[in-house]
Chain A
Amino acid sequence: MADMIQVARREIKMGFRNPWAYSFLLLFCAFSLSLLVINSQHIVQGYSGVTGSMLNLILYLLPLMTLFLGSFSLTAEKEEGSWQLLSTYPIGTLSFIVGKYIGLSIVLLTIVAFGYGLMGFISGLIGTSFDATTYFLFIVFSCGLVLLFLTLALLVGSLSKNRWQALTVSVSIWFFAVIGWPTILISALGLMPYVWIKPVLVALTFINPAELVRLFVVIKLGGGSILGPEYYQWVQWIQRSSGSWLFTAVCVLWIGFSIIVVYRIWERGRSHG
């Protein structure tokens, strides 16, 4: 436990001495402020064109940022040899991985908190009508994206040998999950029997963090009816508090599962040298 906290603290310290973190912080702030300026004429509430486009823009930026910062942090351990050094100490691999995850999440969530804080503060000052529930849902949306994509980032970092490899894999995962997702699914599901399409689609949605978080927030913003009668019961269910619990449970499962996988990879690397 103490090891884990130590690793997390080291990670936070390194994270905020990393110019990458600040460049992403600046990018995120510039971005959230531009959104605010674009929408200063409109009311930001519920699911509308304004919030829909904000969701999409965040969906482009945050996963990419998380994948880069997360995977680079792990490959750096390998490249700079600090993991080799740490391996000689009596520190558990699990403490190391969980510590890394916690430290990185704090760094990333701080960046998100800074961006949203600035956005909320300025919108309050200039008097944009920004509904508090919508603002809160946006923060939840961004935190969910960060936490889930961070598990993917750790996987990428564990499997890559160096930063270049991590960069390439990160970009392809980002493209696959955020942009190519419907195209790939529509073409693949087209080959399946018609009755399979919906269940397979729902199952696959649970393994794509970008879609999972996006749909959860769209439904919570009151836009669930647009998904049509096909998903009526899902929507009814997610709109209630049971939906939030399900969402939290899925996120925890996601995080737990991928931390175990990452742990296995590192543990094997440790014993095999």
Chain B
Amino acid sequence: MKKARRTIIYSLLLIVPLTLCNVLYLEKVLASSSTDQAISLQTIIDQLDTGDSVELPPGTYTGPAIIDKKLSIRGNSKVTLLNQSRKPAISILSDGVHLQDIQIKHTASGDDSPAIQVKADQVILENLTIQTSGYGIMVRDADRGILQNNTIKWFKPEADMPKQKGNGIDLYNSHDTQIKNNKITGLRDAIYLEKSRNAWVQKNKLSHTRYGIHCMYIDGSSVIDNEGEYNITGAMVMGVKNVVVSGNSFRKQSQNVHSQGILLYDVQSSSITQNVVEGNRVGIYMEQSSKNLLSNNAVLRNFIGIQLLNSNHNQFRSNEFIANVIEAEATDSEKNEMTGNYWDSFQGLDLNDDGTSDIPYAINPFYQRLVSQTPAYQLFFQSPGMTFLSDMFTNGRDHWSKDPSPLMKSDIYHISSVESKKGSDDVLIIGLFLLCCAISIIIYLGVLRR
């Protein structure tokens, strides 16, 4: 018996390293064979003339490649471009280049290089699937580009810190660019726009990034119908004028201590309308911004609905604040015009039946002031005692931010993204079980016992 066991152990000791060696060897062979068969994309490009369009046959190609003439290159789901160098997988230096349907794997690690670098105007990139360990698409000094239906992911599966990653789509000094229907996940900033006027960012899906959309100095741009989830901040809009942020939904940005749905910093004369911010740490955060219009936004189930700091002369119209833990906080922001918003925790009184309350809704700044002086007191967030204390400090009420005509009823019924209907069956069963337990304890240990 003992002998048999020993034989098994010895044979195992022998087999395991052998199999490991085998696997490693096979992987090496496969890797070398795949690069052996792979064709350099640059040689194909070199054979083409300006204005040519080519459809790549299925297979694996290698980068880096530089496109310095107007070309149209199309792949399909079986065309893969591998790039292990520290240069961009594809650099586009000529105007009017059109790339589509290519899978790009840009794997040089510890590097800032992008999978695709664009330095020319009117470039179209569509249906590309990019896995990168640096940046995704980097656009520099290139106007009127179109980036659409692309998917950009972080290459390594493990969770790196956002600092170590690159941005998904990164624009600098590139005006009139259209960024539509892209899916970006796991990078630093999904879409980063800097010094780029009139950008059009529409219907992108952004998740697990630092900032879903990060805008700096992009006057006249539009951010429309985008969806963001599980980012640190959904949209960070900073230093802009005349921007439209509309129809976006930002949900579940609540994990980080700095999370927000929409962050507006130094935003002037812009319109923020019809957005849905749900389940974030702060729904809409606004600082040093003025002359903006915020209307018809739905602010749902956030820890703090809206937070205003040093922001004046903005208009807040017909927004809905529902089921937020604290719906609004405002300091040094009393000169805003708030009309007809719906605040669900507010009990109004409508004597003349016009649908709006005759009692104004006022935002108590006590808690926000307290924690800005001593951040340690954030431990008291919405503790019953804190609510009690805030309610006692009502002096200076005339200087609070106020909505003089809050709506009595919510207009729209918002369908929530959370699918927790299935949970109610579990609750029913647990509830029934608890109820039966309680009743039997009461009867057998209490009432019937002598």
Contacts and interface: CB of A to CB of B under 8 A. Distances in A.
Interface SS, A side: helix
B200 interface: no
A130 B423 contact: yes
A236 B186 CA distance: 20
Across chains A and B, which 5 residue pairs bring their CB atoms closest together, nearest first?
A120-B431, A124-B428, A16-B446, A117-B435, A117-B434
B384 A179 contact: yes
B15 interface: no
Contacts of A123: 424, 427-428, 431
Interface stretch (B59-67, B90-98, B322-330): B322-330
Interface string A109-152: 01101101111111111011111110110010000000000000
Which of B386, B421, B430, B434 is the most central at the interface, judged by chain A CB atoms within 10 Å of its CB?
Answer: B434
A204 to B, nearest CB: 10
A46 B384 contact: no
B10 interface: no
A211 interface: yes
Contact of A132 (B416, B427, B439): B427
A50 B416 CA distance: 14
Contacts of B279: 46, 48
Interface residues of A, number: 73
B interface bracket (residues with beta carbon within 8 Å of A): 35 or more
Contacts of A9: 445, 449
B376 interface: yes
B43 interface: no
Interface string B7-19: 0000000000000
30 contacts: A9-B445, A12-B449, A13-B449, A17-B446, A42-B323, A45-B418, A48-B301, A48-B302, A48-B325, A49-B322, A110-B437, A110-B442, A124-B429, A127-B424, A129-B420, A135-B423, A179-B384, A179-B388, A181-B383, A182-B377, A182-B383, A197-B374, A197-B376, A205-B379, A214-B383, A222-B255, A225-B256, A225-B259, A225-B281, A226-B304
Interface in B399-445: 416, 418, 420-421, 423-439, 441-442, 445
Nearest to B450: A13
A82 interface: no
A246 interface: no
A47 B431 CA distance: 21
Contacts of A201: 376-377, 379
A26 B384 CA distance: 23
A90 interface: no
Contacts of A117: 431-438
Contacts of A243: none
Interface in A35-51: 42-43, 45-50
A12 B445 contact: yes
A70 interface: no
A139 B324 CA distance: 22
A264 B444 CA distance: 33
Interface of B: 254-259, 279, 281, 301-304, 322-325, 327, 344-345, 370-371, 374-389, 416, 418, 420-421, 423-439, 441-442, 445-447, 449
A222 B376 contact: no
B446 A114 contact: no
Contact of B428 (A52, A120, A185, A225): A120
A131 B374 contact: no
A129 B449 CA distance: 39
A120 B434 contact: yes
A164 interface: no
Contacts of A230: 375-376, 378
Contacts of B421: 127, 129
A162 B429 CA distance: 43
A186 interface: yes
Contacts of B281: 225-226
B435 A118 contact: yes
B420 A211 contact: no
Nearest to A51: B325
Which of A12, A56, A122, A129 is the most central at the interface, judged by chain B CB atoms within 10 Å of its CB?
Answer: A129
A59 interface: yes
Contacts of B374: 194, 197
A86 B378 CA distance: 49
B375 A121 contact: no
Contacts of B258: 229
A52 B325 contact: yes
Interface string A1-40: 0000000010011011100000000000000000000000
B437 A113 contact: yes
B439 to A, nearest CB: 7
